[in-house]
Structure 1
Amino acid sequence: MASRRTPKLDKKQVVETALRLLNEVGLDGLTLRAIAKELDVQAPALYWHFKNKQALLDEMATEMYRRMTADARLPEGATWQDRIVASQRGLRTALLGYRDGAKVFSGTRFTGTEHAADMEANLRALVEAGLTLPQAVRASTTAHYFTLGFVTEEQGVWPLPGERREGYDVEERAARMADFPLAASAGAEVFQNYEEGFEEGLLLLIAGIAARYGIE
């Protein structure tokens, strides 16, 4: 009886399958065993490419970044404000394309250097505006952390566009918190209008950076 041949796998195929499966099962359900089953191979076959789940998540985040920047272009002479807005809008859009996208992206380490060119340009814009390099790093990472945190909370309500989790009825929440009128009314802002809230948050960030470091 002939032995079963294992299909040849490459890293890209594993990552593409993992990203597709992520939208079906979420981060908690995304195991190497589940990915192997989807690929119709034995789980040990994946360990040729990824020694553990974290290594896979690192590569998934890197691929998400590659896809995010594939067609991204900024006009010549873009200001530091333009760069922060464009990069964070792009990141939010990319993360929202995957179930638990923000959780996958958080805490991962890029496996390539594709991000270096954008990082260099963004830091240079901040330095040329008058910041020291440490200040520029603090400003850009704060914007990055804002987006990751915002989308994590957003996906807690909307795991994917058009898919709303149960338990986030704003009117029911307001009724339960009727003795705390400001907190009750806040639900309409916290759990709705995410697009508007994100854009306002970016404006607050930019204004804060400018005020803190005295730049325009």
Structure 2
Amino acid sequence: MAKSRNNVTHDLLQSRRREIIDNALGLLDEVGVDALTMRALGARMGIQAPSLYHHFSGKRELLTAMADRIVADAVIRPDVEDWEAGLRQCAYALRSTLNARRDAVRVVAGTAATGPNSAAIAQAWTDALSATSLPLEECVRFALVLYSFILGHMLEEGGEPVTPSEQDSLHTVGPLWRAYLAVAQEGAERRFDFGLDVIIAAIRTRITMAAAPASGARKADR
């Protein structure tokens, strides 16, 4: 009987946490991460802010839970036969997910990736890379490089655009900045694809390097 009551209590607490996260994500869409406070969230839900602390120790813990909910849509089953196609699927899924909600990348980049959905993404990415025959540790390193690239790119993409007056001033400082402006005007998606291509090329190079000693050893045996 006591065990049953404990299960009911646990389910109620989890349900309440989900409700709070749902409302927090709604508030994020409305006001952005800077204006998202425990007080504002309590007002939205019609409760006193202190009652939220029964479920979350503070804004940081709440944001971590929100981040894990945000990335849920990026959890996919990638192609594990073709590692390059699988990795591109993973990258585009996360980019699309972060583009779908206001300030999503700031929430995800500013918190620890410790939730179940974050773990599922990490597993999917390493599953895609497992087809490369690289050691698991190497697969994890490349997955982290790709993850960091996506977050960094998305943070830059969400920044304030260069104003016309700033463009005029940059045109006067030499060919480097003129080239920078030309690249910036290509569009965020093209720059994202370029960065992804660079990472995939690095993985290919690493695979070739890893295979080279074995190939050399076979020749020596002959």
Higher helix share: 2
TM value normalised by structure 1: 0.80
Residues 50-81 of structure 1 show CA distances to partners (whole Å, capped at 9, x for unaligned) of 10111101110111122333xx4445x44221
Deviation at 1:120, TM superposition (A): 3.1
Matched positions, count: 196
Unmatched 5+ stretches in structure 2 = 1-12, 212-222
- Give identity over the alignment, percent: 32
Distance (Å, rounded) in 2 between the aligned partners of 1:33 and 1:192: 42
Measure how far apart 1:151 and its partner are: 0.3
Maintained 8 Å contact 2:29/2:101: yes
Q: CA offset at residue 109 of structure 1?
A: 3.1
Query: Which letter does structure 2 place at the counterpart of 1:207?
Result: A
Alignment of 1:11-22 (within 5 A): 11-22=17-28
1:126 paired residue among 129, 151, 154: 129
Contact 2:78 2:128 in 1 (8 A): no
Q: Indicate yes or no: 2:159 matched with 1:153.
A: no
In the alignment, does 2:91 pair up with 1:85? no
4+ aligned runs moved over 4 Å, structure 1: none
Q: Which runs of 5+ in 1 are unaligned?
A: 1-7, 158-166
Tell me the SS of whatever aligns to 1:41: coil
* SS at structure 2 position matched to 1:201: helix
Task: Specify the structure having the higher radius of gyration (Cα).
Answer: 2
**Alignment root-mean-square deviation, CA:** 2.4
Does 2:28 correspond to 1:25? no
Instruction: Tell me the distance in 2 between the aligned counterparts of 1:133 and 1:74.
Output: 17
Query: Using the alignment, how far apart are the partners of 2:119 and 2:107 within structure 1?
Result: 20
Task: From 52, 55, 61, give the equivalent of 1:55.
Answer: 61
- 2: distance between equivalents of 1:21 and 1:192? 33
